[in-house]
Amino acid sequence: MTSIPPFGGFGLGLRKTHYADFLESHVEVDFVEVISENYMIDGGKALRVLEDVRARHPVIIHGVSMSIGSAQGLDADYLDRLKQLEHRIDPLWVSDHLCWTRTSAHNSHDLLPLPLSHEALDVVCDNIDRAQSHLGRPMLFENPSSYVTFPEDELTEWAFLSEMTRRTGCYLLLDVNNIYVSAQNHGFSADDYLTGLPLDRVRQIHLAGHTPRGERGDFIIDTHDRAVCDDVWDLYGQARAMIAQPVATMIERDDKIPPLPELLAELDQARSLASSAMAGLSA
């Protein structure tokens, strides 16, 4: 399996609301990320737009439905479709989430949590081996946000991710907001999380907003519907200072999507924080 060289830069998720911005002007981003499933189609406008954007920017394809934690294994049709998209777009890399979404009968279309057990680790590693072998390239997997822990848990999430990368050769997409959300929801230390990860395997960082505790019960919810909060910016700065290699950082917004300049301003904040953190690293 080949390796994924580090790529440093700042990007945004490509959403339909901003198609015209990306097609009609030069947007100051180093890459864009798209949701794979939106483009795993046979033809039509969405694919044409993606190809046009690809001609201007490097593209990352980021999935939500691979269901890498499914005990029943992966969906062959899904893998074929993803490979077709990968051939068409030639992305920087292909990523998905450490989660599961489907059984043989149903699909939740939500990122469901895995028990952090050795049994689940075996399933995940087998599935990652199959996916990477099918695609012929290593993938990135994102740490999830979660609202449930299981009595069966045997590992911390960071130990699970570490062992997963060691056994499969996959890389990490570090979602800093997800670390914050899960740490708050389950009472673990974000510092321990970052310290426990193999940070040399991180190739990308996600930043996003969340719904604070109290708006939807006693949980922080990973909604991607508002700006990144100060605590998550702080955690980003901390994470960035701990990662020696270049990484691709992006802002995710999936609901209540603002005009593009607002997201670009957030991206400037990420640039500034990363620059300070990197200065600290080299000092």
**Binding residues for other proteins, per CB under 8 A?**
37, 40-46, 48, 65, 67, 70-72, 75, 77-78, 100-103, 105-110, 112, 115, 117-120, 122-123, 146-152, 185, 216-219, 221
Q: What is the DSSP string of 41-104?
A: SSSSHHHHHHHHHHTTS-EEEE-S---TT-TT---HHHHHHHHHHHHHH--S-EEEESSEEE-S
Distance from C-alpha of 180 to C-alpha of 229, rounded to nearest angstrom: 10
Tally of CB atoms within 10 A around 57: 19
Tell me whether residue 146 or residue 165 sits nearer to other proteins (CB atom). 146
Answer whether 155's CB lies under 8 Å from 121's CB: yes
Q: For the chain, how many helices (H) and strands (E)?
A: 9, 10
Tell me whether residue 100 or residue 180 sits nearer to other proteins (CB atom). 100
The two tokens of residue 37 are: 């499933």
Question: Shortest gap between Cβ of 136 and other proteins (angstroms)?
Answer: 21
Tell me whether residue 26 or residue 106 sits nearer to other proteins (CB atom). 106
Question: Shortest gap between Cβ of 18 and other proteins (angstroms)?
Answer: 17
Tell me whether residue 24 or residue 218 sits nearer to other proteins (CB atom). 218
Tell me whether residue 143 or residue 182 sits nearer to other proteins (CB atom). 182
Q: Which residues face 229 on adjacent strands? A: none
Question: Shortest gap between Cβ of 236 and other proteins (angstroms)?
Answer: 24
Question: Shortest gap between Cβ of 257 and other proteins (angstroms)?
Answer: 14
Q: Is 133 exposed, middle or buried (0-12, 13-18, 19+ CB in 10 A)?
A: exposed
Chain centre distance of CA 58:
16
Question: Shortest gap between Cβ of 84 and other proteins (angstroms)?
Answer: 11
Tell me whether residue 132 or residue 185 sits nearer to other proteins (CB atom). 185
Question: Shortest gap between Cβ of 224 and other proteins (angstroms)?
Answer: 12
Distance from C-alpha of 211 to C-alpha of 140, rounded to nearest angstrom: 26
Tell me whether residue 19 or residue 246 sits nearer to other proteins (CB atom). 19
Question: Shortest gap between Cβ of 75 and other proteins (angstroms)?
Answer: 6
Tell me whether residue 107 or residue 189 sits nearer to other proteins (CB atom). 107
Q: List CB contacts of 265: < 8 A, sequence separation 6 or more.
A: none
Long-range contacts: 227-231, Cβ < 8 Å, 24+?
227/262, 227/266, 228/177, 228/266, 228/269, 231/180
Question: Shortest gap between Cβ of 122 and other proteins (angstroms)?
Answer: 7
Cα angle, residue 104 at apex, residues 102 and 108 outer, rounded to 5°: 25
